[in-house]
Amino acid sequence: MKILVCISNVPDTTSKINFTADQTKFDTTGVQFVINPNDEFGLTRAMWFKEKQGATVHVATVGGPGVEPTMRKALAIGADEGIRINAEPTDGFFVASQLAEVIKNGGYDLIIAGRESIDYNGGMVPGIIAALLDIHFVNTCIGLEIEGNKVKAVREIDGGKETLETSLPLIIGGQKGLVEESDLRIPNMRGIMMARQKKLNVVEPVEAIHAMSDKTFDKPAPKGPVKLVDADNVGELVNLLHSEAKVI
Amino acid sequence: MSTETLKKDILRGGQFLVKETQCEDVFTLEDLNEEQRMMRESTKEFVEREIWAHWERFEKKDYAFTEECMRKAGELGFLSIAVPEAYGGMGMGFVSTMLVCDYISGATGSFSTAFGAHTGIGTLPITLYGTEEQKQKYVPKLATGEWFGAYCLTEPGAGSDANSGKTKAVLSADKKYYSITGQKMWISNAGFCNLFIVFARIEDDKNITGFIVENDPKNGISLGEEEKKLGIHSSSTRQVFFNETKVPVENMLSERGNGFKIAMNALNVGRIKLAAACLEAQRRVTTEAVKYANERIQFKTPIVNFGAIKAKIAQMSINVYAGESACYRAAKNIEDRIAIRVAEGNSHQEAELKGVEEYAIECSILKVAVSEDVQNTTDEGIQIFGGMGFSADTPMEKAWRDARIARIYEGTNEINRMLAVGMLVKKAMKGHVDLLGPATAVGEELMGIPSFETPDFSELFAEEKDLIARLKKVFLMVAGSAVQKFGPDLESHQQVLLAAADILIEIYMAESTLLRTEKNAKREGEAAQEIQIAMTRLYLYEAVDLVIKKGKEAIVSFAEGDEQRMMLMGLKRYTKYTNPPNVVALRNKIADKVAADNRYTFDG
């Protein structure tokens, strides 16, 4: 089985988010980048398929040279090979188009993407890839087992879960549940050393339209100070709830 | 880099005092490569997930948990970084080894002690001095964490005077084994180790001998109770009793009588690694403190806005930054020196030994400086937390207790101070470092009329570099006169040695800090290094003050009359600022940045 894990390079969740160039660009100064958590759950599940079922695991990312440390981490965790599509990941359609090309040429049986990246939360890449390649798609996937060509997948649905049967080739939008947080792997020292020798191929992007572009970003207004209302002054509390908080 | 260039560019140990180093020639944390950065991330992730999340267990003396964490560290390869590949290790360079020691210290003192005791003094004596058979037999097990090692040097009557141990090793009649009998104490990892490095005396030898002793209760080995300690609560620390323990002759380490040398060389490595192992501990404390200061509101203001708190945050950050600068500078010197030795045809074992030994002075300096910094940083951490800092429910209290041991083990700071100066004087006597020439030049300069020209200090750090060059003259003046005055008896004038050591330490730390910042400012521009420049200036300012204090103390203790007056004037001349920095403004600038980032962010 040949697996491709699609990885996004995203800011660490503790990063301070700021914008530059008149609120049009994300300010990456001092920001630490990590593997998108939804993708990392998928990668960890892929490692399981590698170790238990002898799968080959590749990882692919759309991005400039700056994303390579994140890809090396995936290789250090155990992926066999990396593919970097040398372009800025401007929007979901563009990214999906690039990945679809890699998938078409690579003969992958299973494509694991994250349900969404935690930076822009677009949540459309795996769906668009499925459409472009006309392959099966399971989103919000929280469980995955494969035997031969047969797939048993579990999907999170509102208030419960749904178990599905399908077949390869397949793309999933993975999330926590595929594996748990405690299953996530810390790259070990030998893995890090070996990552140096693994192939990280850089491919140039194919023609694809930029379906969307960012105009401006707005941060939520800072929270105001807490107002303490005296216990005897219920009138003022009601007034504040009505006129300021607008909840009653 | 060719061997020739390496030879030319790298300072010998102790030479920093008489030679100017170019900033391009120092290694800084900002120079880490991608692989080292990944190792660092892995170490931090391991600490965060597996250890820090459970810090309270370490306080409850959960020794089994320490062992469990050590096994996990073994699985992730952290125990095998410095072990040569031939024995199942990664064979990584000295900088990478230091990096892991550094970032693993963000865990708890208990864990970093267990880690250091195993990977440093528990494993290194075998990799550095073992025979091929010994290495094949033991090192792969130690590298994976299948086995753990402990180092048995200290005895009830032999602490700082390590060569005076009473443990005996008696050769059997058939000459097949030694029978070891004696009592060892403060043995880290004793409770779960599989192997001891034991130092014992054969007959009435002048020097002790090292042995590899497998832990087997049926072979006359017994343990005392776990010691009740101020800190590092979950580091297993017990006495180890050997009662006619039989050790095969082939388990002798190196040669008979070589034990003291082994012990000292293992400690050289132990010292610099201990310094590194006080860094992430400080980063964590600084970060926790600034987070608290940002959240804690008094007088309707987050306390981080108060000058009194800003001064502390600035000082804590500078402590870490200076420690990082000096540790990684020395680490790379050692790594390069090892490379030179290997290129010259030395075995890796020999090269590593000589490489570290070359920088024994720097190792002692770092041990003292950084272990005192971690004490001060954790102390201020408690102070920023106020009453909450005194409570065992917050991590400050235990960080402070854990830090205290660093000034004691791997040679007390007093011993290391005296060693640093003592070794330097010895190197000068042997002609390895030319102190005599520069010291004579200083003497002549003191007799001459000082120049009244105002130098051009417009370039970045021009005045600071000039000051550091002058601080070096202070050391040469004070130590040079002391050597002249006391000759070989200098050893017994401990307070003079301690004062001279403080001057030496400040010079190394201030210079390393400056060189790092200068290197980065040249790469990234001064604006990008604004805070680091402030930290460098502030460190030097405090260093100059300390040099004045310690220089004066030494001078008045052994010089009199005209000589004393001349030296005191020299001290004043050499420590003079033309443009003293506005230290309050510098502190505020540093603290404001750390407060805005809500953590320490200067570790490259």
Q: What is the pLDDT of residues B418-451, one digit of tens each?
A: 999 999 999 998 988 888 899 999 989 988 887 7
Q: Where are the beta strands (DSSP E) in B172-273?
A: 177-188, 195-202, 209-214, 221-223, 237-248, 252-253
- For B596, the 3-state DSSP assignment is helix
Residue of B335, B410, B463, B518 marked active site: B410
Q: Which residues, other chains included, contact B583 with Cβ-Cβ below 8 Å and sequence gap of 6+?
A: B538, B541
User: Is A190 close to B77, i.e. CB distance below 8 A?
Assistant: yes
Of A69, A76, A193, the CB nearest to B90: A193
User: Closest chain B residue to A68 measured between Cα atoms?
Assistant: B34
User: Is A73 close to B77, i.e. CB distance below 8 A?
Assistant: no
C-alpha to C-alpha distance for B343 and B333, rounded to whole angstroms: 15
Summarised one tens digit per residue, pLDDT across range A130-181 is 999 999 999 999 999 999 999 999 999 999 999 999 999 999 999 999 999 9
A–B CB contacts, 8 A cutoff, strictly below? 48
Of B38, B49, B601, the CB nearest to A187: B38
Q: Tally Cβ neighbours within 10 Å of residue B250.
A: 12
C-alpha to C-alpha distance for B119 and A229, rounded to whole angstroms: 60
Q: A10: left (phi > 0), else alpha (psi -120 to 50), else beta?
A: beta
- Computed over every residue of chain B, the mean pLDDT equals 94
Query: Which of chain B's residues have a Cβ under 8 Å away from the Cβ of A190?
Result: 77, 90
- In chain B, what percentage of residues exceed pLDDT 70? 99
Range of the domain at A76: 2-218
Is B410 one of the annotated active-site residues of the chain? yes
Strand partners, A3: A57, A110
Give the pTM.
Answer: 0.92
Summarised one tens digit per residue, pLDDT across range B366-379 is 999 999 999 999 99
Q: Is the dihedral of CA B333, B274, B503, B431 positive or negative?
A: negative
Q: With the CA atoms of B159, B162, B166 and B170 taken in that order, what torsion angle do they form, in degrees rounded to the nearest 10?
A: 140
Asked if residue A231 belongs to a domain, the reply is: no
Q: What does the domain layout of chain B look like in residue ranges?
A: 149-257, 414-597
ω before A220 within 30° of 0 (cis)? no
Asked if residue A223 belongs to a domain, the reply is: no
Whether the pLDDT of residue B6 is over 60: the answer is no
Whether the pLDDT of residue B80 is over 70: the answer is yes
Mean pLDDT along residues B151-161 = 94
pLDDT of residue B337: 94
- Computed over every residue of chain A, the mean pLDDT equals 94
Of B34, B42, B81, the CB nearest to A187: B42
Whether the pLDDT of residue B7 is over 80: the answer is no
Summarised one tens digit per residue, pLDDT across range B204-248 is 999 999 999 999 999 999 999 999 999 999 999 999 999 999 999
Query: Which of chain B's residues have a Cβ under 8 Å away from the Cβ of A69?
Result: 34, 37-38
Mutation for testing the B interface, residue in A31, A189, A223 having most B CBs under 10 Å: A189
CATH hierarchy code of domain B414-597 = 1.20.140.10
Summarised one tens digit per residue, pLDDT across range A67-102 is 999 999 999 999 999 999 999 999 999 999 999 999
User: Is B38 close to A186, i.e. CB distance below 8 A?
Assistant: no
C-alpha to C-alpha distance for A55 and A171, rounded to whole angstroms: 16
User: Is B42 close to A30, i.e. CB distance below 8 A?
Assistant: no
User: Closest chain B residue to A187 measured between Cα atoms?
Assistant: B42
Of A30, A72, A190, the CB nearest to B38: A72
Of A69, A186, A189, the CB nearest to B45: A186
Whether the pLDDT of residue B111 is over 60: the answer is yes
Asked if residue A35 belongs to a domain, the reply is: yes
Asked if residue A72 belongs to a domain, the reply is: yes
CA atoms within 13 A on the CB side of A171: 26
Summarised one tens digit per residue, pLDDT across range B253-267 is 999 999 999 998 888
Mutation for testing the A interface, residue in B30, B76, B287, B524 having most A CBs under 10 Å: B76
Q: Which residues, other chains included, contact B198 with Cβ-Cβ below 8 Å and sequence gap of 6+?
A: B152, B167, B180, B184, B210, B211, B212, B213, B242, B247
Query: Which of chain B's residues have a Cβ under 8 Å away from the Cβ of A27?
Result: none
Residue pair A128/A173 in contact by the 8 Å Cβ criterion: no
Query: Which of chain B's residues have a Cβ under 8 Å away from the Cβ of A193?
Result: 35, 90, 92
Q: What total of structural domains would you count in chain A? A: 1
Nearest to B146 by CA among B138, B157, B135: B138
Mean pLDDT along residues B127-132 = 95
Mean pLDDT along residues A174-197 = 95
Whether the pLDDT of residue A228 is over 70: the answer is yes
User: Is B77 close to A189, i.e. CB distance below 8 A?
Assistant: yes
Q: Where are the beta strands (DSSP E) in A9-109?
A: 9-11, 19-20, 25-26, 33-35, 56-62, 81-85
pLDDT of residue B4: 53
Whether the pLDDT of residue B464 is over 60: the answer is yes
C-alpha to C-alpha distance for B128 and B197, rounded to whole angstroms: 13
User: Closest chain B residue to A16 measured between Cα atoms?
Assistant: B597
User: Is A192 close to B35, i.e. CB distance below 8 A?
Assistant: yes
Say if strands B301-302 and A25-26 run parallel, antiparallel, or are unpaired.
Answer: unpaired
Strand partners, A150: A147, A167
Mean pLDDT along residues B500-514 = 98
Mean pLDDT along residues A188-203 = 95
Of A69, A72, A190, the CB nearest to B90: A190
Whether the pLDDT of residue A44 is over 70: the answer is yes
Asked if residue A237 belongs to a domain, the reply is: no
**Which tokens in the block code for residue A24?**
């049009």
Exposed e or buried b per residue across B96-117, where buried means at least 16 C-beta atoms within 10 angstroms of its C-beta:
bbbbbbbbbbbbbbbbbbbbbb
Residue pair B534/B542 in contact by the 8 Å Cβ criterion: no
User: Is B35 close to A73, i.e. CB distance below 8 A?
Assistant: no
C-alpha to C-alpha distance for A111 and A173, rounded to whole angstroms: 9
Whether the pLDDT of residue B454 is over 80: the answer is no
For domain B149-257, say whether CATH 2.40.110.10 is its number: yes
A99 vs B57, higher pLDDT: A99
Summarised one tens digit per residue, pLDDT across range B297-306 is 999 999 999 9
> What element of type H or E holds B356?
helix B348-358
Q: Identify the DSSP state of A198.
A: S
pLDDT of residue B9: 64
Summarised one tens digit per residue, pLDDT across range B527-566 is 999 999 999 999 999 999 999 999 999 999 999 999 999 9
Asked if residue A239 belongs to a domain, the reply is: no
Mutation for testing the B interface, residue in A192, A197, A228 having most B CBs under 10 Å: A192
Asked if residue A235 belongs to a domain, the reply is: no
CA atoms within 13 A on the CB side of B166: 10
Task: Give the angle A138-A139-A145 at the CA atoms, nearest 5°.
Answer: 50
Summarised one tens digit per residue, pLDDT across range B27-56 is 999 999 999 999 999 999 999 999 999 988
User: Is A72 close to B77, i.e. CB distance below 8 A?
Assistant: no
Chain B positions touching chain A (beta carbons under 8 Å): 34-35, 37-39, 41-42, 45-46, 49, 75-78, 80-81, 90, 92, 597, 601
